[in-house]
Structure 1
């Protein structure tokens, strides 16, 4: 049974604040590691639909820098979490997709995201 005393708006705000704190900490940690490798840019492509999704690709610039697999996974997880933070539930139904581009030098993130949806136009004519 639903507890009428629960403040769902406050709970959602708390969860959002916790996610922001986690994302900021991850960003600081990843930024240091990526800069140490001489990486100037990271691009992460992701896609989700039908209640699931994943990171499709993680690329870095300069291209000759080899991103360790564990770090690539961490970067992908960060990108997915950031996309989800700004577009919660995008992986449901028709889904969504996008690219997170992170300028490591300037520590600036651009999120290019698209949501898919089904549109329906219905008409009903009787007694014409």
Structure 2
């Protein structure tokens, strides 16, 4: 029989802690690899809506350094996961978008994020 006494808050906290640990590990691994290549900054543009999304573009500084395919995929995944950790569910409905800027020298990430939403104003006039 299915257990119907699930503590959703605890489950969500557990998942958040797991995501946080995974992001920290991936961040440390990526930081070492990107610094080894001589990179100083990564900028990732991401967007999501309608229950899906992805990283649209990644810019590297200094320019002219090419990432191996596997490292590029790992960086895409990290940028998405990091943005998602800060704004879970932003890809749903009207979605959201943003820019992640990672200063590799300082190991500091700035996240500029916007959520889209539909707004309406309602008026009702009776017996005018």
Q: TM-score, normalised by structure 2?
A: 0.95
Residue in structure 2 matched with residue 15 of structure 1 by the alignment? 15
Q: Secondary structure at the match of 2:70?
A: helix
Please name the residue that 1:86 is paired with: 86
Q: Report the Cα distance in structure 2 between the residues aligned to 1:78 and 1:119, rounded to whole angstroms.
A: 32
**What does 1:15-34 correspond to in 2, within 5 Å?**
15-34=15-34
Quote the residue 1:116 is aligned against: 116
Aligned partners of 1:60 and 1:67 also within 8 Å: no
Match for residue 76 of structure 2? Answer: 76
Count of matched residue pairs? 127
**Unaligned regions of 5+ residues in structure 1, if any?**
none
- What CA RMSD, in Å, does the superposition of the two structures yield over aligned residues? 1.2
Mapped partners of 1:118, 1:38: distance in 2? 43
Give 5+ residue unaligned stretches, structure 2.
none
**Which contiguous aligned blocks of 4+ residues in structure 1 show a shift greater than 4 angstroms?**
none
